[in-house]
Structure 1
């Protein structure tokens, strides 16, 4: 089985091995011959790996019909429906040949080797039909369909059958060749029947089957479909694919390396998928055909016999095989990677992180690769033209480090390690403009409203030149009076008012050109309206005149001009990463942010952020240079992976949210319902003793389920949403009487939350807390008062009763004192070993039932004998008392406790504490007992203590014993002591 980490590849468009063949109009889809498949097998609960049919129901669940039963898949695991030979109301037989889903009624029809089962998904109950009970022509049912009149048809190995719904019996129709392999209702409402002797149609008026006269390459019609209106597709055994018009005239015939066609599907991208009996899976798009075989390990189809093919509502292709389980892939994912490096192709993009990208007025696309010079994409030749410093004549440049590219007065200029260079068409190369001191490294170029050229440098501030390249200003950290914050300038933007925004390595500067004034914006500790970081990496002015600032480590800030403050977006607000490399505005006014961890898209009107990762086809995670907005509104971003290109309208941001279902609801560990599989929006009432609830929930998102995060809350218990990560179950115990609503929602890979789904329930009060009971209590109280008055009449009896009450009180105090002595250690005052064993046993059983962690720490004082020998046993006793007190102070939760285990050995129990928390408590104890202050015989002693701590953390199952828990912790202690003094060893 493909490793689970390969799930990340589903939906990521397979990267082009060389230069992408794209005109940048739409994102490229996955090449149909490079689709990667993910396996579903025994690890996901599929008990039989021969999958004969795959269907998706209207709720989004995937159903696998196998030769060993029926399985419902939620993206994580499966629920099995299997035949019980001693029950007649379940699945009729485990060997299932075919399935048909009646969406209108939410019924699933199953053709098996012992008849037909209909699973009513509304009630989770079966109705069965067989030869003996229902007049089925043969028990092996291989095709099922429903016609326009809502009648169910079943094809068997011995003819066609129509179900009479009133009687529950079948009407039989004889068929030439006997075997019916396929049933299909076409767009003209004709029932088409594929048999071993060709295609038939059902004549409703005559109530007969009529053969269709076709010149068949093979008469064995295994599949009949109509993928495009007016075009019938026949899958033929040993005959390939035959396409017909609606009058049954031949349109085309396609043959494959293996023509034994068994399953056919056409996905939304136009690819025809053909499953064969022994030749693997074929994909056909236009004239090109690709064969996915078991020898091609990258493709991931693990068996040459393909039983079933289906495309679900989200465009995922599902494949059933004869012995390797099921597979799925998304052949329609978008590939936004326009260019990448191919080590086998010298004409591909140079390897390395990309500094910037630019399209000039002559429609030439320039790409600057770190220390690799410039790559210019030659569209007609589909290759990269390389400009490098080491070239001798043409394609030459002064330095291979290019940081910025612009056009100025009709000339293409670059900011490089040699200063400012200008492209010369005549020599097809670059030459240095002698406007800056030699060896000046330049980073940024900008043109202001006066047609002045601004040049930002690596360590020499910023220069302003007029149209003739005459120096006007040189701003740097020592400029008087117009000093800038730092001499390393990353970016320059001239806004619509003519002001220059300058992003430096140590602050943001604004040069008010008309006022001849320089303003500086810097980080102010504790001020959330200032910039959060002084390293300004990139700047953007939007069409509306807003200024956005991207920082290294500080996220994204927007300047609020009317208030002269900044509002900031970081990872806490949903940004994918706090290091922002490039910012661009789309035509819709969305802010696209390239970071070191993917791309974030911000809607400035709602502050909502959607995050894009490699799974969305963006090519990679680490973006490294300036992006670019093209004239058509498309966006370019660059990184270590290459060039990512988004068309003006992208499907990425319109992905539907997955449905979320509460799929299991248990009370006192028993299902609330034996037939329900979804509990959304239902309400229940329980008695007072039914106070232990557990829930299971699922988001139906097969492509990105491994990235889905769950949030839940029980209204009435949880004040806030609880984040459970990918854990899709939760339980609550000891619930008090009252009204409750359990809600759950999912957070997708893009950071979007689904609407919460819920189930409501009421726990009734116990009978002794009802209104009637309180009325009875009132009557009893009246009776008691009356009786008390009567008793008071007898003074002697009253006096005796008082004495007796006094004696009872004293006895109760004595009992409490005795109980206290029985559970407390006589020396240290903490709990003794008897109490430790009792309470640990209780917490251990609770942890078993609730599936919670429990930890035990065993603590032993190093060299305690030497302390006794040196200071005496009285001092040693005081030492143990102080030692025990420090352990107790280290335990902050009321559920945690310590006990004296014996001698200088102590034990600590930590309930609902995982390994990391246990280790933290152990280190806290060791630190706290390290320095003890002891008063003895009028003197104060400061003792340096060393301890060894061993522990064991586990989520116990029902086979785990308490003795094993204690002994494992004790073993860890002695293993720690063998490692030396002052050691900690926690096992899990």
Structure 2
């Protein structure tokens, strides 16, 4: 079992991540973790993947790990049987590859390994070597008390004397415009140019002031990421501006960052003093988590005049959009908020207490019916608004520049959460347990002239909405379009296919009129529908965030357009933002990691995954492990498989990354598996062929024996029958 400290991180060509852990080499492929203990049971201090080998350094040993045919790793030490001796208590803290050489750094020496010649050269030091750095294919290191050296032709050469930078410990060295950028542990960043050291950027040093830097990396966008002791991480732009700072209060597991890695997909891995974290600074998804439980579950949101408002089960909150400040509670709104609308230049808040008008961070309650679900504008009635309440409908009227409750509309007392106009005096109302009603309202909007229940099934979590001049009704059965002349709903097969059947979670539909998009929610995706550009068929776009991960209140899903392609999704503990411009889907490869077999009650035996195998008929239970390296939190990778020769039909999608098949009969088989990751099927099908021998009693020799035995029995029976009849005839 792995321990909590992780000193170094690296990644191989297949996307597998490796950690130098206190217990050994820890690997992760997004499906499973696996620990490979160091042979001498010591702490692994460094790891670096170079080509097809995983080099590592530990206590008094260094070497490399290679993948074997069983899907595991085997270790080869580079220190045994050599003409040098490792120093007592020597540990190897860093590994760097340059050209055909691998360099292993301890606090006392640098071992230069010539890969082609399998030989070593050693740079020895009587003074502590803090770290080793690779900058533009040049290797630098710092000798404590002496300065910064570079390695040329296997020998050291002093580059910057210690007195130039006042005995500061160097954490990393970068190249900027042919100059050297020196990162110190506690004094910030300095530039070394033409023999002179000076402060690189005063703003950068101010951002790093008071921090103790342990390690750093330069990201693919040119920015710098620093791991600190006790303060988490801080990111600076390429010109020294502070971009972000994240510590335990923001979600890190621990504030001491021992190692950093940017992987081949832009994910940032953090090896911590207590655990491992991953984040993607360029992710299309950003999560705001309400750790203190102040906000509650978000039911609705709106953005007006660069202020963001969130309505939850605990009240109404707001803050200036884009600022990192906390949300402010609007006094008087404690309780359930159902809706937020910007109508007639005012913010209306539908609340359990009734209707509020929100302005300048204050909320004023309009006296009237309690429980406001929704508020709608009425065509050609600029001074009237229609409200859907707990017990029917009501009207707000604007007089003397002030909105007031005018009247309840008599004749209909059913809860009216979802409603939309057919005409200015005719509307549809959906009640999830009672059905859909068509109402005719008087011209004064004071009473219902008549109403009827339409012949369409009601259903939990259903909704009704106007989209592109049509009224849509959605429930578990699908999405239906209202036919005005016939006053009936007919099913839309294209839209229904998105959410019906096993995909159904909620019938909640949301229309984003700013971008002409219809949003809906299925078990596995958030979906938006756009008009087709070259045909009448709508374009269906899926964002692969499963219901379980998006964590919204089912039936009360809500989404807000923040900008052209940026959206906010309310969740049970905050919200999630989605940037469609960054949302790029690409297929990934799936591989079979390990194959093992066993007979009844025996232990599993691993097999060579690179060639077929023939198993004994008793060893007819087989286990397949497979994976896709996808570290996106929202990807929810799923797999399906089949076993040709036994059943040709693909299984259902499952999140299980292994398959165990028991008691197979003899025969030849081909196991196939594919994946669904981030909404895209894998670009390959991984397979493994094997066969199971016939039992001995079904082999050809045994069958010949059975035939001969049968013939012999027939002969004997015939012989004794003939003998018997001859004896009878004599008698």
TM over 0.5: yes
CA separation of 1:415/1:571 partners in 2, compared to 1, >3 Å: closer, same or farther?
same
Larger % of strand: which?
Answer: 2
Give the alignment partner of residue 79 of structure 1, picking from 31, 35, 48.
35
CA separation of 1:556/1:651 partners in 2, compared to 1, >3 Å: closer, same or farther?
farther
The Cα shift of 1:761 comes to: 1.4
The Cα shift of 1:169 comes to: 1.9
CA distance in 1, matches of 2:563, 2:117: 69
Who is 2:104 aligned against? 154
Who is 1:200 aligned against? 149
CA separation of 1:626/1:313 partners in 2, compared to 1, >3 Å: closer, same or farther?
closer
Aligned pairs, number: 673
Structure 1 contact 66–94 (Cα < 8 Å) conserved:
no
CA distance in 1, matches of 2:657, 2:139: 44
The Cα shift of 1:736 comes to: 0.9
CA separation of 1:602/1:420 partners in 2, compared to 1, >3 Å: closer, same or farther?
closer
Structure 2 contact 669–690 (Cα < 8 Å) conserved:
yes
CA separation of 1:477/1:550 partners in 2, compared to 1, >3 Å: closer, same or farther?
farther
Who is 1:446 aligned against? 376
Q: Deviations over 1:40-81 (max 9, x none)?
A: xxxxx11x6554433333334333334554343456543323
Which structure is larger by alpha-carbon Rg, 1 or 2? Answer: 1
CA distance in 1, matches of 2:166, 2:436: 75
Q: Deviations over 1:919-952 (max 9, x none)?
A: xxxxxxxxxxxxxxxxxxxxxxxxxxxxxxxxxx
| Structure 1: gaps spanning 5 or more residues | 1-44, 85-92, 345-350, 391-398, 479-483, 524-530, 801-988
The Cα shift of 1:740 comes to: 2.4
- Mapping 1:61-140, distance limit 5 Å: 61-66=16-21, 68-73=23-28, 76-83=32-39, 94-102=42-50, 104=51, 106-122=52-68, 124-130=73-79, 133-135=82-84, 140=90
Who is 1:274 aligned against? 227
CA distance in 2, matches of 1:588, 1:176: 66
Who is 2:534 aligned against? none
The TM-score with structure 2 as length reference comes to 0.70
The Cα shift of 1:664 comes to: 4.5
Matched, 1:559 2:481: yes
The Cα shift of 1:519 comes to: 7.9
CA separation of 1:222/1:716 partners in 2, compared to 1, >3 Å: closer, same or farther?
farther
Give the alignment partner of residue 549 of structure 1, picking from 473, 476, 479.
473
The Cα shift of 1:107 comes to: 0.1
CA distance in 2, matches of 1:233, 1:659: 41
The Cα shift of 1:218 comes to: 5.7
Structure 2 contact 354–370 (Cα < 8 Å) conserved:
yes
- Mapping 1:825-904, distance limit 5 Å: none
The Cα shift of 1:402 comes to: 7.7
The Cα shift of 1:116 comes to: 2.7
Q: Deviations over 1:841-872 (max 9, x none)?
A: xxxxxxxxxxxxxxxxxxxxxxxxxxxxxxxx
The Cα shift of 1:737 comes to: 0.8
Q: Deviations over 1:692-716 (max 9, x none)?
A: 3234455656675997776665455
The Cα shift of 1:623 comes to: 7.3
CA distance in 2, matches of 1:441, 1:65: 58
CA separation of 1:60/1:364 partners in 2, compared to 1, >3 Å: closer, same or farther?
closer
CA distance in 2, matches of 1:128, 1:300: 34
Matched, 1:210 2:137: no
| Structure 2: gaps spanning 5 or more residues | 402-406, 442-448, 530-537
CA separation of 1:626/1:297 partners in 2, compared to 1, >3 Å: closer, same or farther?
closer
Any idea what SS the aligned residue of 2:82 has?
Answer: helix
Structure 2 contact 461–555 (Cα < 8 Å) conserved:
no
CA distance in 2, matches of 1:752, 1:144: 37
Who is 1:263 aligned against? 215
Structure 1 contact 456–463 (Cα < 8 Å) conserved:
yes
Structure 1 contact 275–308 (Cα < 8 Å) conserved:
no
Structure 2 contact 590–674 (Cα < 8 Å) conserved:
no
The Cα shift of 1:783 comes to: 6.3
CA separation of 1:468/1:636 partners in 2, compared to 1, >3 Å: closer, same or farther?
farther
Structure 1 contact 714–742 (Cα < 8 Å) conserved:
yes
Any idea what SS the aligned residue of 1:794 has?
Answer: helix
CA separation of 1:275/1:768 partners in 2, compared to 1, >3 Å: closer, same or farther?
same
CA distance in 1, matches of 2:438, 2:177: 62
Structure 2 contact 38–44 (Cα < 8 Å) conserved:
no
- Mapping 1:235-250, distance limit 5 Å: 236=184, 240-244=187-191, 250=198
Structure 1 contact 54–99 (Cα < 8 Å) conserved:
yes
Who is 2:415 aligned against? 488
CA distance in 1, matches of 2:727, 2:332: 112
CA separation of 1:649/1:297 partners in 2, compared to 1, >3 Å: closer, same or farther?
closer
Larger % of helix: which?
Answer: 1
CA distance in 1, matches of 2:288, 2:8: 38
Who is 1:171 aligned against? 121
Structure 2 contact 302–309 (Cα < 8 Å) conserved:
yes
Report which stretch shifted further, 446-455 or 49-58.
Answer: 446-455
CA distance in 1, matches of 2:166, 2:16: 36
Structure 1 contact 312–318 (Cα < 8 Å) conserved:
no
Who is 2:435 aligned against? 507
The Cα shift of 1:120 comes to: 1.8
Q: Deviations over 1:521-550 (max 9, x none)?
A: 444xxxxxxx452775442415xx565435
CA distance in 2, matches of 1:222, 1:798: 113
Cα RMSD (Å): 5.8
CA separation of 1:71/1:404 partners in 2, compared to 1, >3 Å: closer, same or farther?
closer
Who is 1:189 aligned against? 137
Who is 2:445 aligned against? none
Give the alignment partner of residue 610 of structure 1, picking from 544, 558, 562.
544
CA separation of 1:468/1:791 partners in 2, compared to 1, >3 Å: closer, same or farther?
farther
Any idea what SS the aligned residue of 1:489 has?
Answer: coil
Any idea what SS the aligned residue of 2:580 has?
Answer: coil
Structure 1 contact 356–405 (Cα < 8 Å) conserved:
no
CA distance in 1, matches of 2:358, 2:29: 58
CA distance in 2, matches of 1:709, 1:53: 30
The Cα shift of 1:100 comes to: 2.0
CA distance in 1, matches of 2:141, 2:464: 65
Any idea what SS the aligned residue of 2:544 has?
Answer: strand
CA distance in 1, matches of 2:36, 2:289: 46
Structure 2 contact 542–679 (Cα < 8 Å) conserved:
no
The TM-score with structure 1 as length reference comes to 0.54
